[in-house]
Amino acid sequence: MEESEFFKKKLARISSEDPRKVLKRDKIIVSDLRRENEELKLQIQKLLKNNQQLAKLAEVLEEKIMKLTEDMRKNYVYSYEHGGWVEKESMDKGKVELAPSMLSVDTINNQLSEILRMIKKQRRNV
């Protein structure tokens, strides 16, 4: 009973309003909703484009990280005598030099592997 009374009151109110005013109000509402819909579509397009660019960036970073890791493994050896990483080439020639960086290759490799894990995790979420 309550629902039918609600609809009766609603119909009575609508029928008492001027149809031209109702139509004008509804047109304004529709216009506002269309404008909002277009704005949301533009935002979605921007977000999709940004997401694609981030995915490309992640791929490039992953490739660079893997290359850097491989280069570090190929070119440096840890020397306990010198307390750090030395270039393989220098060690082979007898001229032992410490690696230019204060960071150890292990630290760099750990950071790079962590970045790769984050990229893979992010890829699964995309």
- The C-alpha atoms of residue 102 and residue 43 are separated, in whole angstroms, by 45
Would you state the pLDDT for residue 45?
96
pTM value?
A: 0.48
Strands 84-87 and 76-79: antiparallel
- The larger pLDDT score, comparing residue 50 to residue 81, is at 50
* Phi (first) and psi of residue 48, to 5 degrees: -65, -45
Distant-in-sequence, close-in-space partners of 51: CB < 8 Å, separation ≥ 6: 126
| Residues 90/96, Cβ–Cβ less than 8 Å | yes
Instruction: Give the residue from 106, 116, 122, 17 showing the smallest Cα distance to 62.
Output: 116
End-to-end Cα separation, the chain, in angstroms? 50
**Can you read off the two tokens belonging to residue 15?**
């029928």
Q: Residues 61, 58, 123, 107: is their CA dihedral positive or negative? A: positive
Mind listing the pLDDT tens digit for each residue in 12-36?
666 677 778 878 888 998 999 999 9
